[in-house]
Amino acid sequence: MDTKKKHDGLRNVPVFVSLLVLVGLFASCDSSKKPSNLEESTAYFNSFTYKGMDDFYEQNKLPGEDYFFNPIIPGWYSDPSVCKNGEDYFLVTSTFSYFPGVPIFHSTDLVNWKQIGHVLDRESQLVNMKGQHTSGGIFAPAISYNPQNDTYYMITTNVGMGNFFVKTKDPFGGWSDPIMLHDVGGIDPSFFFDDDGNAYIVNNDEPIGEPEYSGHRTIRIHQFDVENDRTFGDDKVLVDKGVRPEENPIWIEGPHLYKIDGKYFLMSAEGGTGPNHSEVIMRGDSPMGPFNAWEKNPILTQRHLNPNRDNPITCTGHADLIQAKNGEWWSVFLACRPIDGKFENLGRETFLMPVKWSEDGFPYMTQGNDVIPMVVQKPGLKRGEEVTFGNFTKIYPFNSDKLGYDWMSLRTSASDFYSLTKNPGYLSLSCAEVSATEKGTPAYVCRRLQHHKFECTTELYFNSEDEKDAAGLLLYKDETHQYFFGIKKVEKGIEIFIEKIGDHESKIIVSEMIDEKDKQMQLKIESHGDYYNFYYSRGNDSWVNLCNEVEAYYLSTANSYGFTGTTIGMYAVRNK
């Protein structure tokens, strides 16, 4: 089937007032343009712009149209998995506790990717998300195509529910509701459809009996009945501990099974998701094993390289292999780009590089001191005008009746709080009593950070019911690591502020009073990689620097831990 052709927390002030405030994207904005149907405690966002400005892309131009930048999908798009059917490639990544779940991308050449939707785009597919931590939810989706029944499968773990899969005949359309796999424990399941019609699921799980040490895990295999959508028989342990069990390797996970030239290859990640992350390979004559590890494992890692090298790429692992239409093999995998080698706020990103083959028949991406390249050539490629990588600018005028695929909320849809149709040209966002510090669904509509250096601006017309209401931009890592750049009404006028939201307490870093008569303002967050600058402007005035050099490290994985990157977006809250 040619699927492409088928579908060408703030301080309270004891005062009750009503406020109309406009926060603008452009200094030349039209002051007469205001929403026509005002509701109390509602913010009206007229536009949002995100502009990437990373130095590497500015200083290193691609030498030809058959080159691309790594990461191929920058920002927090972790745990990539890829499959192929004819001319079409499809790629998915993790979303953890964000909604909708599991973005799906399409390409015909592995480089020019376009997001075509989300696999899990309705709440019936994302059960028990409320109450989960930001790094809970949906782990490590794996996408596969079964030519025996012309069906696509996406299998994954919902930490709050268990392992399940969904399926479809048309990845450009909708996917089924979850089909639970109660006999498959652990995490990171993936399908393997053999050419003889048999099917299997491999996954990470705990060892039989007590673990011998922290991080002791196994890789198991289950036989799968395609007609009845269930496993059968007993599962079997394929790998215990890892490829060198005598060294007590940790966290073997993310397994994928392949059949190449009559041999079966079992590939998994090892070493945890941090700097010691790696990918290892084993080979056997049957999908049920036994499997023998390649003596030159790992086949992908950067853990032993000098951390002070230029443009370091770290934490490489959780890979998937794909054979291109011309017979070449490529790999997608996750990795991180720490700013100046120190920390990163972007999360784990999706990279792409060619696969090499050893003389004894094993695939690998790196050996020895091989460095992950940030500029890669793919002969025969014709790079498109709109690509997912490099520096780019995204402008969101909110003139449609649906949000674009970039936008997310936490745990469930935030559609109870936002509307694109009440005031055409605006995203109307009601102040919610659920804040972003709680494990529910706040009035937060966000996108991923995809660059260390970026500029973000928005326009807001805020109808505040009382002093408890606040709205603006939120930089969010998890429930206890946030920066809120917001506006609220206080007794003396309008307060514009930056709040650092923490685990046990939150504090206002800086605030400034503005006369109530000054209705129009602009807000801008400017990232320099390791710090943020915050600006505002009133009417057609020049930018005013509210605060400089607010540390970005606070939102980094190095400080907060967790599996996601930082997001940024529009936020409206009624403080309790």
Kindly list the catalytic residues: 79, 253
Rounded CA-CA distance 455/296 in Å is 44
Sheet of 88-92, strand order? 81-85, 88-92, 101-107, 114-120
The residues that bridge with 571 in the sheet, in sequence order, are 444, 472
Strands 520-528 and 19-24: parallel
User: Cβ-count burial of 56 within 10 angstroms (0-12 exposed, 13-18 middle, 19+ buried)?
Assistant: middle
The continuous run of DSSP H or E covering 419 comes out as: strand 418-419
Number of Cα atoms under 13 Å in the Cβ half of residue 361: 12
Q: Minimal CA–CA distance to 117: which of 501, 414, 443, 403?
A: 403
Sheet of 349-354, strand order? 314-323, 329-336, 349-354
Answer yes or no: are the C-beta atoms of 172 and 179 closer than 8 Å.
no
514 residue type, one letter = I
Contacts of 115 (CB under 8 A, 6+ apart): 103, 104, 105, 106, 405, 406
Rounded CA-CA distance 196/262 in Å is 12
